[in-house]
Amino acid sequence: MAEPDLVWSSDAPVLGLRAARTGRDVRVAAERLGVPAAALSPALVEPGLRLLVDDESGAAGLLRRQWAEDGTAEAVLLLRSGMRIDQPGVLATAAGWGCDRVRDERTVDVRPVPVPPDDAPLAQRFRHLAALAATRVEVAVTLARGAGQDRTKDDGSPAIAADEAAHTAAAEVFRALGVTVLSEERRDAPVADDVPWVVLDPLDGTGNFAAGMPPWAFSAGLVIAGRPVAGLVADLSSGRRWEGSDGAGAWRDGVPAAPRTGTTVVVPSAPSGGTVGVPPTARRVRVTGCTAIDLCLVADGAAAAWHDVDRSGTHVHDVAGGLAVLLAAGGVALTPDGEPLELRPDTEQRIRLVAAPSARAAQELLAALG
């Protein structure tokens, strides 16, 4: 994950920490930390663990995301060699998890996660708040499970108490950003053409959440001049997080994400008595029931494409966060006419698009769809 601009006050050198990606990374770190590689291997697959390594110095550390007894989300440095909790890479990991502090389990030292100043770039402030909001929503929807009365919205989608709890938790965090926030759970506020705005889907995949069938997610996107320039999508069912920012890149659980060609296509829903349009290279079609995550799967290369061109369309709150991640990763989103997609501050408007690794792949998909 890209490190935010943090004020470095230590005499120790700044390490080039990165998230471990391979078995070799794990084995090298295990030797440095003096533990079996098996003890560190879960960090490659469990979103709540992060093994940080520095290729130049050999420094390594294992972080765990957890909630302390006082209810505070914290990142705990469980094992370390050649690094401390005040390293920018450690603090950046905690910030990306939406934690308020970092704690060294060995020394019990505690360091608060720095908050970007008010004059920091808007996208940087958004990313910090989006990570915090995702963590607040994670708790809110869990505590709202089984509460309230289920109902059906005008468009046929389910609405449960967790939707409202998620919105309330996220909106409270984003108030500090000072821009208009739109949400699936509220009527749209007016937004001028020349100002940035944020759009939330506090709980994408409500039907999945209600059924207990993953995934369900929190999604937030920052939009400027119709382009989603920063976004975060958190899979609340597993802890996975994708985030991206225009010009900075995209990450999945701290590892750089990039789209790629492949044979798996994701779509928002199963066909109702018809067929699913796919490119000639497609071999598999997947339906997750969570559009925000679908777009992130294209962004990180797990899926080759996503589209809703042969369906009724989706909404801006469903796609803004995932599209920001996709575009930051180098992917493309086109309208059915083959034009770059522009987002409008209207949560009622239907949007139809294709998402792909490249403009060529997107055009090929549009051609296959006729």
Domain ranges across the chain? 18-112, 122-240
| Per-residue pLDDT at 150 exceeds 70 | no
| Per-residue pLDDT at 318 exceeds 90 | yes
User: CA-to-CA distance for 325 and 206, rounded, in angstroms?
Assistant: 21
pLDDT tens, position by position, 116-136: 999 999 999 999 999 999 999
Mean pLDDT on 166-190: 94
Q: Could you tell me how far CA 291 lies from the centroid of its own chain? A: 12
Q: 146 falls in which pLDDT band (50, 70, 90)?
A: confident
Which backbone phi and psi does 202 adopt, to 5 degrees? -60, -35
Mean pLDDT on 194-218: 95
* Structure confidence at residue 276 (pLDDT): 74
| Per-residue pLDDT at 4 exceeds 50 | no
Residue with tokens 């294209």: 298
User: CA-to-CA distance for 302 and 325, rounded, in angstroms?
Assistant: 14
**CATH number for the domain whose boundaries are 18-112:** 3.40.630.30
Average of per-residue pLDDT values in the chain:
91
Strand order in the sheet with 60-67: 18-19, 49-53, 60-67, 73-81, 101-104, 110-112
* Fold of domain 122-240: Fructose-1,6-Bisphosphatase; Chain A, domain 1 (3.30.540)
Mean pLDDT on 179-196: 91
Q: 366 falls in which pLDDT band (50, 70, 90)?
A: very high
Domains 18-112 and 122-240 share a fold: no
Which backbone phi and psi does 314 adopt, to 5 degrees? -125, -170
* Structure confidence at residue 116 (pLDDT): 97
* Structure confidence at residue 117 (pLDDT): 96
**Spatial contact of 222 and 196, defined as CB atoms under 8 Å apart:** yes
Residue with tokens 């940035």: 196
User: CA-to-CA distance for 354 and 363, rounded, in angstroms?
Assistant: 9
| Per-residue pLDDT at 291 exceeds 90 | yes
pLDDT tens, position by position, 47-88: 999 999 999 999 999 999 999 999 999 999 999 999 999 999
Q: What is the DSSP letter of 183?
A: E
Q: Which residues contact 215 (CB under 8 A, 6 or more apart)?
A: 205, 208, 235, 236, 237, 238, 288, 289, 290, 293
**Spatial contact of 241 and 252, defined as CB atoms under 8 Å apart:** yes
Q: 3 falls in which pLDDT band (50, 70, 90)?
A: very low
